Amino acid sequence: MRIWGSRFLVVLLFVTWIVAGCGERSGEVERNRSAHSGEVPDSWVARRESMVRDQIWRRGVQDPEVLRAMRAVPRHLFVPQSIRGRACDDTPLPIGYDQTISQPYIVALMTELLDLERGERVLEVGTGSGYQAAVLAMIVDSVYTIEIIEPLARVAMSTLEELGYHRVRVRIGDGYAGWEEAAPFDGIIVTCAPRDIPPPLVDQLAEGGRLVIPCGDLWHQELLVVEKKDGEIRRKSVLPVRFVPLIGPHGEE
């Protein structure tokens, strides 16, 4: 009995050693993997928290729904892997094809200016990475977005699909013409700059709707809010900005 007892103890110690050892080793692999890819989920939550506090809230964007959306959407998964570590920096970042994902503050400010409510319908012109569309989808039920560069649209479609933003509809085409079949929209946001406000977008704005749009040439652009009230158009200028130009038949070549 005593022999069996001590053998059992040895086996038990051996098994414990293996389990503990393996546990430690796989822990190391996990840590290395995380350090390599920079993808510790908790650290991204913390980085977004400081991004919202320091870059967005401190500069005056206060709408709780906008702040919630900016905290929730995993911005790092919308930027190319090679620059993922800079995803929450206070700057626009390149996404390929000479295009950029806007600076976090500008995304938040434009979203706040849209003044959205849950049941409303929004159109975005300039899908890019799909990030702004995901932020919008955290706030409203229907989001339509148009991108003129097909490969960017395809990547955005799959990112949005993988992350579960099933409410976003993406179309490949010229956003200058809007999305007539889905109009009217309570909000329209344009994330590339035309020289002047595209008339089809004003036509597709619902009564009481808001169009948030940068307008101008490469050097001088203004962020405008255009409102349609009692059939009349009112526009106000918010601040000078610099966006990539609207391209296609109605824009820069």
Supply the residues annotated as catalytic.
102
Residues binding ligand SAH: number (CB under 6 A): 25
What is the CA 72 to chain-centroid distance, rounded? 10
248 is a contact residue toward ligand SAH (CB under 6 A): yes
> Nearer to ligand SAH by C-beta: 121 or 234?
121
From 10-18, 136-144, 174-182, 207-215, span contacting ligand SAH (CB under 6 A): 174-182
Closest approach, Cβ 60 to ligand SAH, in A, equals: 21
244 is a contact residue toward ligand SAH (CB under 6 A): yes
Instruction: Please say whether the dihedral angle defined by the alpha carbons of residues 11, 12, 13 and 19, taken in this order, is positive or negative.
Output: positive
191 is a contact residue toward ligand SAH (CB under 6 A): yes
52 is a contact residue toward ligand SAH (CB under 6 A): no
Instruction: Report helix, strand or coil for 102.
Output: coil
8 A C-beta contact, residue 66 and residue 139 = yes
Residue that is written with structure tokens 């990475």 in the block: 129
What is the DSSP secondary-structure string of 159-184?
HHHHTT-TTEEEEES-GGG--GGG--
224 is a contact residue toward ligand SAH (CB under 6 A): no
Q: Count the neighbouring beta carbons within 10 Å of the beta carbon of residue 224.
A: 20
Instruction: Report helix, strand or coil for 200.
Output: helix
Interaction residues for ligand SAH, span 104-163 (CB under 6 A): 125-126, 128-129, 131-132, 146-149, 152
Q: Which two tokens stand for residue 217?
A: 């040439």
Residues with Cβ within 8 Å of 207's Cβ and at least 6 positions away in sequence, in order, are 184, 228, 229, 230, 231
Residue window 68-107: x/- pattern of binding to ligand SAH, with contact defined by CB under 6 A: -------------------------------xxxx-----
Closest approach, Cβ 63 to ligand SAH, in A, equals: 18
179 is a contact residue toward ligand SAH (CB under 6 A): no
176 is a contact residue toward ligand SAH (CB under 6 A): yes
Closest approach, Cβ 236 to ligand SAH, in A, equals: 22
- The closest alpha carbon to 126, from 158, 102, 90, belongs to 102
8 A C-beta contact, residue 90 and residue 55 = yes
204 is a contact residue toward ligand SAH (CB under 6 A): no
200 is a contact residue toward ligand SAH (CB under 6 A): no
From 10-18, 136-144, 222-230, 241-249, span contacting ligand SAH (CB under 6 A): 241-249
Q: Which two tokens stand for residue 131?
A: 């990030």
Q: Count the neighbouring beta carbons within 10 Å of the beta carbon of residue 139.
A: 20
Site residues for ligand SAH per CB under 6 A: 99-102, 125-126, 128-129, 131-132, 146-149, 152, 174-176, 191-192, 244, 246-248, 251
